[in-house]
Amino acid sequence: MSEETSGEKRFDPTPKRKSDAAKRGDVLRSKEVATAAVMATGALMLMSIGPWLFEAIQSVARAGFGFERGHLRDFTPGTIFANAAAAVLPPIFTLGCAVIVVTVGSQMLLGEGRFVPQNLKPKPSKLNPLKGLKRIFGLQGLIELGKSILKLALLGVIAAYWVSHNLPRLLGLGRGELGAQLAFAWGALTTLVGMLVLGLFVIALVDYPLQMFQRNKRLKMSFQDLKDENKQSEGSPEMKMARRQRQRDLSRGGVAKAMGEAQFVVVNPMHFAVALTYDPEIAAAPIVLAKGRGETALAMREISGELDLPVLHYPQLARALYFTTRANQMVREELYVALASLVAFVLSLKRGERPQKPHIEVPGALRFDADGRPEKGAKKTP
C-alpha cells in the first residue's frame, strides 16, 4: 500500500521539475496562442502599412493592365517585373519580418525564454508508423481532433457571416472604377482578418489553460519524486560540509574581533555560545562581548580552541545569557552570583590551578528553552 502511495503521481510539479523539463525541451506550447498572436500582428501591420501596400498594388495594377503603343516598340518584361517587385516587396517584407519576430517571440515567451537545440535534432522515433498511429488515435490525438473540429466550426461560422455580407459586391468586382474596387477589396479583406483574429483569440483563451493543465498533469510528481528532488537539492554530505564551512567562515568574520578580547565562553553545548570578559576597572559585572547560535556558535567554539579560551558547558546559563543580554552589555543582575563563580574558576585556571568545576544555579525566571520561551514553571522576565 505504501509503495502505491509513494509511486502515485498526485503532487503538483515543483519549480525545479518544471525548469528541468524546460531544459529538456518540454515547455508550455500552445499553437493557438501563437497563431492568434501572428494573425493579430498581421492585421495590425496591414492596418498600419495598408496605404503603402495599397498604393503599391495600385501602381502594379495600372502598369499591368495599362497598354500603350510604346510597349510594343520597347517591350522589356524584366523591367516590368523589377518595377513591380520594387513597389510591392518592401511592404510585404516589412509585414513578413514583423510576423516572424512575433512567431519566434511568442514561442520563446511560452517556453520560458528558452531555446532548446535538442528540439532541432531529428528523432527517429517519430518516423515509427506504429507510434504515429498511437499518437493519432490516442487520447491526445482525439483531443487535438476535437479542438480542430471546434476551431474549424468557429472560423467557418465567422467566414460564412463575412461572405453573406460581402458576397454581392465581391461578385461585382471588376465592373467599376479600379481604385474603388481595390479599396472595397482591401476593406473587405481587413474586416475578414479582424473577425478571424477575434475568433482565434477566443480559441487561444480556451487552449492556453488546457495546455497548462496537460503539462502540469504530465509533470505530476510522486512522493518518491519529491524525496529524490529534495535529496538532490541538499546535495551530498561533502557539499553539505562545504556549505556549512562557508557559513562558519562568514560567522567567524563577524565575531573574531570580539573573541580576541574574551576571557571565557559559555556554551550549550553546541547550539548557543556567549563570549564574556570581566574587568573591575571597566564595569562592575562581566560583559557579553559576542553571542551566537547555530553556525555562529560553532565558529565561536573553533576560535576559542585557537585562542585557548576556556569553554564552559552550562546549557541553562548559556541560554539565559543569550536571551537576556545584548553584545557589549553587562549581564543581568540576577546572574551576578553565577558569573562570579565562573570568573573565579577561570582565574584559577589561568594561575595553573586545577579547581573543581563550580555548580551553577540559574534563577527560575531566567530559564529558557531553545526557542527563547520560559521553561515550564518559570516566571517571565520583566
Reduced to 3 states (helix: H, G, I; strand: E, B; else coil), residue 367 is: coil
Res 319: pLDDT: 93
pTM: 0.41
Domain locations in the chain as residue ranges: 27-218, 256-366
CA max distance for the chain: 128
Residue keyed to cell 564574556:
276
Provide the pairing of β-strand 287-293 with 329-330: antiparallel
Q: Alpha-carbon distance 184 to 31, whole Å? A: 32
> What CATH homologous superfamily does 256-366 map to?
secretion proteins EscU (3.40.1690.10)
Helical H runs in the chain?
2-7, 15-23, 31-65, 69-73, 77-110, 129-137, 139-171, 178-218, 223-234, 237-259, 295-307, 315-324, 336-350
Cell reading at 165: 455580407
pLDDT tens per residue, the chain (382 residues)?
A: 344 455 677 778 887 787 777 777 677 777 777 778 877 887 777 777 767 776 777 777 766 666 566 555 666 666 667 777 777 778 778 877 887 887 777 766 665 555 555 555 666 665 666 666 666 666 666 777 777 788 888 888 888 888 887 777 766 666 666 667 767 777 777 788 788 888 888 888 888 888 888 888 888 888 777 777 776 665 556 556 655 665 566 556 668 888 888 999 999 877 899 999 998 888 889 999 999 888 888 888 888 888 899 999 999 999 999 999 998 999 999 999 999 999 999 999 988 898 899 998 999 889 998 888 887 655 544 4
DSSP 24: T
CA distance readout (Å), 116 to 20, 22, 78, 91, 123 = 12, 8, 44, 32, 14
Q: Check: CB of residue 318 under 8 Å from CB of residue 356.
A: no
Q: Report whether 17 contacts 224 (CB < 8 A).
A: no
**HSE value, Cβ hemisphere, 13 Å, CA-based, for 14:** 13
Task: Let me know the angle formed at the C-alpha of 367 by 363 and 371, rounded to the nearest 5 degrees.
Answer: 165
What was the pLDDT predicted at 111? 59
Q: Which three cell numbers stand for residue 161?
A: 457571416
pLDDT of residue 272: 93
pLDDT of res. 234:
58
